[in-house]
Structure 1
Amino acid sequence: MQHFEVNFDGLVGPTHNYAGLSFGNVASLSNAKSTSSPKSAAKQGLAKMKALQEMGMVQGVLAPQERPDIYALRRLGFKGEDHEVLAKAAKEAPAIFRACCSASSMWTANAATVSPSADTRNGKVHFTPANLTNKFHRSLEPETSGRILQAMFANSRYFEHHRHLPDNEHFGDEGAANHTRFCSDYGHAGVELFVYGRHAFDSSKPAPTRYPARQTFEASEAVARLHGLSPDNVVFMQQNPAVIDQGVFHNDVIAVGNQNVMFYHEEAFINEAQGFAELEQKLGQSIHFIKVPTNVVSVDDAVKTYLFNTQLITLKPGHMAIIAPTECQENERVAQYLNDLVGMDTPIKEVRYFDVKQSMRNGGGPACLRLRVALNDQELAAVNPNVILTDELYARLNQWVDKHYRDELSSDDLADPNLLIESRTALDELTQIMHLGSVYPFQRV
């Protein structure tokens, strides 16, 4: 039986814009209200997907959310026809309106936490959509994310779907951005590392003071319970509050792991030695812990370049590649470190750079753009085949983007009622291309 790690990348939505909505996300805030290019963003994302497919990876596509979210605006008291709701909200509550236009679902690492069948008690692949309670604009996503995932992984013989955790910050869950799986290979039982920022029910424990800790220990424990994970294949570690206060809002901004490699910054964790020892003990084999010292790459440089928000993929046994944004290549210190890294005695043998600037300016790098799902060949065959990237699907999605997406979008354009019509028209066609059924609210009313 063959085993694969499939990367499902988020397709950038038609309303991709820079609203600066994420307090604690330095890149997002610094580019607030700049003019964006939805078409360029979508094509950059598709180009990365195609490149990974050509490297021999199995690559999937995850559909975006419907935006502007008219239904959320109506729940908040804005009444009338769609165009009237848009106009009233944009005029009377512009910050709320911009939040309801966010295209942040493109960062698929926050869509869900996934546990492969090799780790779970009932031998199924488990999915729990993230509730994303810390940010209003992201808390609008879980219901639709759940429907899209169920349309992609519909066969109940192989896949089990859970509802997102309660919508309360005590159970703040940010999905795979704070979850890493270690294994000898994708088919064997592994150890799942859950990284959290604070204890919600114990204020005596360390916590950041400047920026919020979005993932709680209690949420991580709950997801592990839902997925039927054994204590023998779960480790919980706390993110260093000091790096959260420097703009490291998710663990995948300061660390990335794959199989037997953990690539991380020396300031990433509390109780690093204890946590890593537990990881190795439960995995039953040694792990390559690649620590990047602060005096070589500062936290500031790591955040600006998203050195750790890179994809770490296995191209063949013992040969891994880092998929990095071009911002890493443009930073002298980071580029030098990566150049030195491929010469070290580790499984990381190469670095490949990709232009994902439209995403980077909004606060997400290559790792943010993908959700990792380990599957065996029977499970892969049970996945909706229309969400797996092929040459035909790649060409069709590029044509779809050319047909429906705007070249430029400013914050003022978000109130244009034609944008809502354009977005719904595009998404309705997309669900037909990808055979998703009626996953969007406008299709279900």
Structure 2
Amino acid sequence: MSDERRPDYREVNFDGLVGPTHNYAGLALGNVASMSHGGLVANPKEAALQGLAKMKALMEAGYLQGVLPPQQRPDLGALRALGFTGSDERVLARAAGEAPQLLRAVCSASSMWTANAATVTPSVDAPDGRLHLTPANLQSSFHRFLEPATTGRVLQAIFRDESRFAHHPALPATPAFSDEGAANHTRLAGDHGEPGVHLYVYGREAFGWGGESSPAPKRFPARQTREASQAVARQHGLADHQVVFAQQHPEAIDAGVFHNDVISVGNGPVLLYHEMAFLDEAGTLEALRERMRSPLIPVRVPVEAVSLEDAVGSYLFNSQLLSNPDGSMTLVVPGECQENESVWRTLQDHLLAGANPIGEVVVKDVKQSMRNGGGPACLRLRVVLGAEERAALAGRVLLDDALHDELTAWVERHYRDRLAPEELADPALARESLTALDELSRLLEIGSVYPFQREGA
């Protein structure tokens, strides 16, 4: 790790492509939007095109934009491991009749929210000078627990150069080490090339801390443990002066703030957060100030301006906060923010008019994602890379006009424009999905990352 700023370091937002089985199954306990839209008819094609439109808009605005592929769905291997036997058609039919919720789970397109894919430490912070990645185990929900193996293969296929990139195994998939990835992790620094401080936010302590139990949510589960956050920091070689561990406010979790990125977002030296984001607000800010090389710029939204209910309903804090060359920042918000009077007023009067670098608010329609409980920030994994590291990326994953057009055409060819939960048992959908993913892996030049491509290899 160097004490010098590295001007060639820039942030790349790797967005997850929405998968062909995008549906509203209402699988995520504690995710109010997901739970309230369960059973509705989804539009996978529109969802994927909305995601691509956001990526293209940010690319055209000068931001570096990457692409990550979806998972193999339906995951028939998971159903077979649970005792369903026979042909693919038989497995799907039995699951639909005997355990429809399991069928919904193995068809989930939740990997589109790549903020949950992994936790990343850039090389400028790591003692060995390499970028470090740990796939999240996502053990708190079955439909997401299915993701880490493929996620790890995808990341290893793209970040392939072992001299520059270090891959760690997902943490043990037990409640004590429940890890939800970058959705509960924020890196703060004067700029992307300055050594940073890593804010890990957890919802509960598995083994207790200091001999005392911390307050816990009463309505919804706390998904991230302190122990998981500490383990990831250790894997990445981070020292005490580089990390802050803060507990999420249990009242926020009970209001539907299932991840920290639903209640706060950081970028550079700016931490935009709701008054109810952290159990110990003052202590969290003090710890960050003590460790950061550049002054922290906290932007606090009080509950009087935006209630927890409105914060969750609009996903104001699940927005992308992006750095511009002139030092200003752009906040990319979902359309729901514009539809909420108190949230929109706060954006105009409190954020844009405040003494902070946020100088622009951009509204993006990601309604298909929002209905399943994920906003603009859920759709991307933030990776800070130097110029040589960007050049070392394998595959064809950095978005340009040609790749965008090819991906759009790929979606138009393979995706349905209507998908209801009861249609997930259709064997044709499984065949369509595998055909699409096989073509995508060739288009992105990432090799055989899917289980069906590796069987018998």
TM-score by length of 1: 0.99
1:270-285 equivalence runs, <5 A: 270-285=279-294
1:182-232, CA deviations, whole angstroms, 9 ceiling, x for partnerless residues? 011111210000000000112722211210000000000000000011111
Contact 2:28 2:141 (8 Å CA) reproduced: yes
Determine if the alignment matches structure 1 residue 148 to structure 2 residue 154.
yes
Name the counterpart of 2:169.
163
Name the counterpart of 1:409.
419
Mapped partners of 1:133, 1:165: distance in 2:
10
1:103-145, CA deviations, whole angstroms, 9 ceiling, x for partnerless residues? 0000000000000001111110000000001101000000000
Q: CA deviation at 1:413?
A: 1.0
Determine if the alignment matches structure 1 residue 260 to structure 2 residue 266.
no
Contact 1:55 1:315 (8 Å CA) reproduced: no
Name the counterpart of 1:443.
453
Name the counterpart of 2:430.
420
Bigger shift: residues 334-343 or 19-28 = 334-343
Name the counterpart of 1:431.
441
1:264-296, CA deviations, whole angstroms, 9 ceiling, x for partnerless residues? 000110111111111111113321111101111
Within the candidate set 47, 51, 55, 1:41 is matched to 47
Contact 2:157 2:395 (8 Å CA) reproduced: no
Mapped partners of 2:326, 2:221: distance in 1:
39
Within the candidate set 138, 141, 152, 1:132 is matched to 138
Report SS of the residue matched to 2:134. strand
1:319-358 equivalence runs, <5 A: 319-340=328-349, 341-358=351-368
Report SS of the residue matched to 1:420. helix
Within the candidate set 192, 197, 203, 1:191 is matched to 197
Mapped partners of 2:17, 2:189: distance in 1:
28
How many equivalent residue pairs?
445
Mapped partners of 1:241, 1:137: distance in 2:
24
Report SS of the residue matched to 1:316. coil
Q: What letter is aligned with 2:134?
A: T
Contact 1:120 1:230 (8 Å CA) reproduced: no
Mapped partners of 1:318, 1:166: distance in 2:
40
Mapped partners of 2:407, 2:294: distance in 1:
42
1:396-426, CA deviations, whole angstroms, 9 ceiling, x for partnerless residues? 0000000000011011110000000000000
Name the counterpart of 1:363.
373
Q: CA deviation at 1:384?
A: 2.0
Name the counterpart of 2:82.
76
Q: What letter is aligned with 1:407?
A: D
Mapped partners of 1:207, 1:186: distance in 2:
34
Contact 2:395 2:446 (8 Å CA) reproduced: no
1:232-275, CA deviations, whole angstroms, 9 ceiling, x for partnerless residues? 11110000011101110000000000011000000110111111
Mapped partners of 1:347, 1:384: distance in 2:
34
1:2-401 equivalence runs, <5 A: 2-202=8-208, 204-340=213-349, 341-401=351-411
Q: What letter is aligned with 2:446?
A: L
TM-score by length of 2: 0.96
Q: CA deviation at 1:376?
A: 0.5
Mapped partners of 1:314, 1:205: distance in 2:
36
Mapped partners of 1:396, 1:438: distance in 2:
20
Moved over 2 A (4+): none
Structure 1 stretches lacking a partner, 5+ long: none
Mapped partners of 1:12, 1:46: distance in 2:
9
Q: How large is the RMSD of aligned CA atoms in angstroms?
A: 0.8
Q: What letter is aligned with 1:436?
A: I
Contact 2:318 2:375 (8 Å CA) reproduced: yes
Contact 2:265 2:271 (8 Å CA) reproduced: yes
Bigger shift: residues 200-209 or 230-239 = 200-209
Contact 2:190 2:295 (8 Å CA) reproduced: no
Q: CA deviation at 1:317?
A: 3.6
Q: What letter is aligned with 1:94?
A: P
Mapped partners of 1:393, 1:169: distance in 2:
40
Q: CA deviation at 1:385?
A: 4.8
1:34-68, CA deviations, whole angstroms, 9 ceiling, x for partnerless residues? 00000000000000000110110110000000111
Contact 1:45 1:356 (8 Å CA) reproduced: yes
Name the counterpart of 2:3.
none
Mapped partners of 1:100, 1:426: distance in 2:
17
Contact 2:189 2:294 (8 Å CA) reproduced: no
Contact 2:204 2:224 (8 Å CA) reproduced: yes
Contact 2:18 2:44 (8 Å CA) reproduced: yes
Q: What letter is aligned with 2:288?
A: L
Mapped partners of 1:390, 1:284: distance in 2:
35
Contact 2:190 2:293 (8 Å CA) reproduced: no
Bigger shift: residues 313-322 or 70-79 = 313-322
Q: What letter is aligned with 1:384?
A: A
Q: What letter is aligned with 1:37?
A: N
Mapped partners of 1:385, 1:409: distance in 2:
31
1:143-195, CA deviations, whole angstroms, 9 ceiling, x for partnerless residues? 00000111111111110111100010110000000000001111121000000
1:15-48, CA deviations, whole angstroms, 9 ceiling, x for partnerless residues? 0000000010000000001000000000000000
1:292-342, CA deviations, whole angstroms, 9 ceiling, x for partnerless residues? 011110000000000000000012242101000000011111111111121
Mapped partners of 2:191, 2:318: distance in 1:
22
Q: What letter is aligned with 2:405?
A: A
Bigger shift: residues 84-93 or 275-284 = 275-284
Q: What letter is aligned with 2:291?
A: K
Mapped partners of 2:177, 2:126: distance in 1:
22
